[in-house]
C-alpha cells in the first residue's frame, strides 16, 4: 500500500529509486556498484572476510582462560553460528549478484532487512539477538574495509561513483555535511532524512549536488524499508513509498519535463546577466572542493564567490592538510578559473560542520554545548594560530597564479578584525623570510551576525570587500537553529529585521565604493532575486546549478521599476506581502508601456 511522508523541500526535482537505509552508525559504509565481471571476485572477497572473522573468533575461544564466564564462550559460539549460517550468507550474496552492490553495502543492506524482522518479533529473547547480528555485521564490514581500496577500518570507506542498473536513493536519520561530500558524483539519485532544516549545511550540500532531497521527514527511516521503491518530490517536500503505477508514471513524466527545462536554461550559460534596464549583474559560483571548479566554469560563472575551504579538512581521520596540499588545491582552482576571481573563505569549522572526532579531541579538547554559538569559524582559527598560519600561507602562495580574494568568516568583534589582519600580515612576512613567492590578495569579511552588520562602518575601514552570509545572519538575527526542523517554520528570510540588515549592508557598502556580494542561500533563490536587485545588489554567488534560473530572472527584470516597492517593503510590517503586491503592479505597468 502506498504511503506518503512529508518533510521540508530543500533541493528541487524528482528522484525515483530503491531505498537504501543507512542507520546513523553505518553512514560511512562504502556504497558503490560493481561491474558484472566483478561479481565473482566480490563474493570471494566477502567469503574471505567471513573466513577471517571466523578464525579470529575461534582464536578467541582458544585463548580464553579457564575462569572465563561460560556466557562469553556461548556468545562467541552464537557469533560463529551467525557467520556460518548459509541462509544469511546466501541472502547477502544475492545483493551482490542481483543488484551489483559491493560487499560492504550488501552486508549493511542485509543487516537492515534482518533488523526490521527482529524488531517485529514478539519473543523478547529473540528480539535481543539483534545485537549479536549487528556486532557480527560490524566486525565483517570492518574486515572488508580494512582490505579494500575504499577506506580504512575506522572510517569504513567513502561512497564512490559507479553506474548501476537500479537507481537508488538514500534514507537516513541524518547525514553530516562531511558524509554528504562523499556522495559527490556518487550512486544516489536523492536522499531523505528524518531531521534537518532548509538551510542546514546538509541541505546546502544537497543543493550543491543538484539532487532532489527532503529533510525533516520525521519517521521516514522507520517507515521506509530497505529496497522499497520510493519517489522523492523535492519541490513539495513529499516522499511516496511504494507508489502505484499511475503515480510512478506521473512522476517519471515530471522528471522528463524537469530535464527539458534544465536543458533550456543551459542555453543562457554564456549570455551576460544584464537587466532590462541595462544593469550589469555579476554571477559567481560557490564551490566546496577543487574538483567543483570545472563545473563552475562550464555553468558560465564569472568567478568563484565562495570556496568553502573547510571541506578540505574533513574525512581525514584527524590528519589536517599541510601547507603544500592546501596550496596545490587552491592553485588548481585558481588555474581552472582562467583568470576569473576566486574568493577563498578561511576554514569555517564548527556548528553543523565539525571535523571528525579525532581532530576535535586533538584541537579543541572539549565539546561545546551549543556549537553554533561556540568556537567556530574565525574564532576557531584564531584559537589555533599554527593551523591558521598554514592556511594563510597556502592561500597567499596560490594568489601568484591568478586573482585571489581572501574571505574571513563570522567576525563580530573589532579585536577579531585586528587579530585576523595581523595574522595575514605575519603570513606575508613569513613567506618573505622563507623566500617563497606569493601574490596580492584582496581581504574581505563575511557579515553573518547582527553585530557585524551594525558595526559595518568599522568593517569598511579595514576590509576591501564585504560578503553577506545570509544563512547564518538569519539564524543569529532570529535566534533560530537552522538545522532544527522543530523551529524551521520560524526561519524567515522575509523577516523585517533580516531584510533590513541585508539591505542596509548592501547600500552602505556600495556607498563606500566597495564591493558587496551575497553568498548565502538567498542568492540562489529566485524568489529573492528581484528584491535583492531592487535594494542594490549587483553580485550574487550560488551553486553552479542555480546560475541559469537566476540569470533568467535577471534578464527579465527592470530594476528601476521595482526600487520604490522595495523601499516600501523594507519599512512595512509584512515585507513579503507588500513586495508581492507591489511587484505585480510594477510588472503590469511595465507590460502596458511595452
448 is in an annotated binding site: yes
The H-or-E segment that residue 188 falls in is: strand 188-193
Measured between alpha carbons, how far is residue 454 from residues 281, 325, 377, 500, 502 in Å? 26, 38, 20, 11, 11
Distance CA 22, CA 108 (A): 8
DSSP β-bridge partners for residue 11: 213
517 flagged as catalytic? no
Spell out the long-range contacts of 356-359 with Cβ–Cβ below 8 A and sequence spacing 24 or more. Answer: 356/178, 356/314, 356/315, 356/316, 356/317, 356/318, 357/318, 358/317, 358/318, 359/313, 359/316, 359/318, 359/320
Q: Name 256's Cβ contacts closer than 8 Å, sequence gap at least 6.
A: none
Q: Name 422's Cβ contacts closer than 8 Å, sequence gap at least 6.
A: none
Query: What letter does residue 400 receive in the DSSP assignment?
Result: G
345 is in an annotated binding site: yes
The 10 Å CB-count burial string (b at 16+, else e) for 288-298 is bbbebbebbbe
Catalytic residue among 79, 100, 517, 519: 519
- The vertex-172 CA angle with 171 and 177, nearest 5°, equals 110
DSSP β-bridge partners for residue 342: 304, 404
Residue 14, φ and ψ in degrees, nearest 5 = -120, 135
Catalytic residue among 201, 401, 517, 543: 201
DSSP string, 207-226: HHHT--EEE--TTHHHHS-T
519 flagged as catalytic? yes
* C-alpha grid cell, residue 513: 565604493
370 is in an annotated binding site: no
37 is in an annotated binding site: no
Distance CA 240, CA 247 (A): 9
- The vertex-405 CA angle with 400 and 410, nearest 5°, equals 140
Q: Which of 109, 104, 101 is nearest to 162 (CA)?
A: 101
280 is in an annotated binding site: no
Q: Name 21's Cβ contacts closer than 8 Å, sequence gap at least 6.
A: 112, 171, 172, 221, 224, 225, 226
Distance CA 395, CA 439 (A): 9
Pairing relationship of beta strands 3-6 and 238-241 according to DSSP bridges: antiparallel
Quote the radius of gyration of the chain (alpha carbons, Å): 26
Residue entry with cell 559567481: 284
Q: Which of 513, 528, 541, 539 is nearest to 580 (CA)?
A: 528
The separation between the first and the last C-alpha atoms of the chain, rounded to the nearest angstrom, is: 54
Binding residues for phosphoenolpyruvate: 308, 345, 471-472, 482
Binding residues for Mg(2+): 448, 472
Binding residues: 308, 345, 448, 471-472, 482
Q: Which residues are catalytic?
A: 201, 519
Amino acid at each position: 500500500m502506498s504511503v506518503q511522508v512529508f518533510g521540508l523541500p530543500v533541493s528541487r526535482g524528482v528522484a525515483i529509486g530503491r531505498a537504501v537505509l543507512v542507520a546513523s552508525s553505518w553512514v560511512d559504509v562504502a556504497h558503490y556498484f560493481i561491474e558484472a565481471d566483478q561479481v565473482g571476485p566480490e563474493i570471494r572477497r566477502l567469503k574471505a572476510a567471513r573466513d577471517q572473522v571466523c578464525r579470529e573468533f575461534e582464536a578467541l575461544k582458544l585463548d580464553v582462560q579457564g575462569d572465563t564466564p561460560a556466557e562469553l564462550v556461548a556468545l562467541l559460539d552464537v557469533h560463529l553460528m551467525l557467520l556460518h549460517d548459509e541462509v544469511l550468507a546466501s541472502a547477502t550474496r544475492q545483493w551482490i549478484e542481483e543488484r551489483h552492490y559491493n560487499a560492504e553495502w550488501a552486508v549493511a543492506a542485509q543487516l537492515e532487512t534482518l533488523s526490521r524482522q527482529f524488531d517485529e518479533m514478539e519473543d523478547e529473547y529473540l528480539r535481543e539477538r539483534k545485537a549479536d547480528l549487528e556486532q557480527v555485521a560490524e566486525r565483517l564490514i570492518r574486515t572488508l574495509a580494512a582490505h579494500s581500496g575504499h577506506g580504512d577500518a575506522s572510517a569504513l570507506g567513502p561512497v564512490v561513483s559507479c553506474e548501476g542498473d537500479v537507481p537508488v536513493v538514500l534514507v537516513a536519520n541524518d547525514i553530516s555535511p562531511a558524509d554528504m561530500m562523499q556522495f559527490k558524483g556518487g550512486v544516489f539519485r536523492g536522499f531523505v532524512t528524518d531531521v534537518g532544516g532548509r538551510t542546514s549545511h546538509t541541505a546546502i550540500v544537497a543543493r550543491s549536488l543538484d539532487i532532489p532531497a527532503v529533510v525533516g521527514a520525521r519517521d521516514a527511516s522507520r517507515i521506509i524499508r530497505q529496497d522499497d521503491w520510493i519517489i522523492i518530490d523535492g519541490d513539495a517536500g513529499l516522499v511516496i513509498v511504494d507508489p502505484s503505477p499511475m503515480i510512478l508514471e506521473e512522476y517519471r513524466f515530471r522528471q522528463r519535463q524537469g530535464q527539458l527545462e534544465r536543458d533550456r536554461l543551459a542555453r543562457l550559460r554564456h549570455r551576460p546577466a544584464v537587466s532590462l534596464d541595462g544593469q550589469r549583474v555579476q554571477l559567481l559560483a560557490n564551490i566546496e572542493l577543487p574538483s567543483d571548479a570545472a563545473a563552475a566554469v562550464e555553468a558560465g560563472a564569472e568567478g568563484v564567490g565562495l570556496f568553502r575551504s573547510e571541506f578540505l579538512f574533513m574525512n581525514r581521520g584527524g590528519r589536517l592538510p599541510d601547507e603544500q596540499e592546501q596550496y596545490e588545491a587552491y592553485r588548481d582552482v585558481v588555474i581552472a578559473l582562467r583568470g576569473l576571481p576566486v574568493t577563498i573563505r578561511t576554514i569555517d569549522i564548527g556548528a553543523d560542520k565539525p571535523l571528525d572526532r579525532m581532530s576535535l579531541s586533538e584541537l579543541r579538547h572539549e565539546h561545546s554545548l551549543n556549537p553554533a554559538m561556540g568556537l567556530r569559524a574565525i574564532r576557531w582559527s584564531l584559537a589555533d594560530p599554527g593551523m591558521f598560519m598554514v592556511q594563510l600561507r597556502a592561500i597567499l602562495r596560490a594568489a601568484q597564479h591568478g586573482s585571489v580574494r581572501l574571505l574571513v568568516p563570522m567576525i563580530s568583534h573589532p579585536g577579531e578584525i585586528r587579530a585576523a589582519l595581523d595574522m595575514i600580515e605575519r603570513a606575508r612576512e613569513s613567506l618573505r623570510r622563507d623566500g617563497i613567492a606569493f601574490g596580492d590578495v584582496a581581504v574581505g569579511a563575511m557579515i553573518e551576525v547582527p553585530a557585524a552588520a551594525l558595526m559595518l562602518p568599522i568593517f569598511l575601514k579595514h576590509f576591501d570587500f564585504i560578503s553577506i552570509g545570509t544563512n547564518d545572519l538569519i539564524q543569529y538575527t532570529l535566534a533560530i537553529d537552522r538545522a532544527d526542523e522543530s523551529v524551521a517554520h520560524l526561519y524567515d528570510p522575509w523577516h523585517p529585521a533580516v531584510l533590513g540588515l541585508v539591505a542596509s549592508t548592501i547600500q552602505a557598502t556600495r556607498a563606500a565604493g566597495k564591493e558587496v556580494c551575497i553568498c548565502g542561500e538567498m542568492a540562489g533563490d529566485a524568489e529573492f532575486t528581484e528584491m535583492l536587485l531592487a535594494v542594490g545588489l549587483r553580485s550574487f554567488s550560488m551553486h553552479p546549478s542555480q546560475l541559469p534560473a537566476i540569470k533568467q530572472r535577471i534578464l527579465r527584470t527592470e530594476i528601476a521599476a521595482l526600487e520604490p516597492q522595495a523601499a516600501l517593503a523594507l519599512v512595512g510590517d509584512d515585507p513579503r506581502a507588500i513586495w508581492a503586491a507591489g511587484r505585480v503592479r510594477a510588472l503590469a505597468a511595465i507590460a502596458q508601456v511595452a
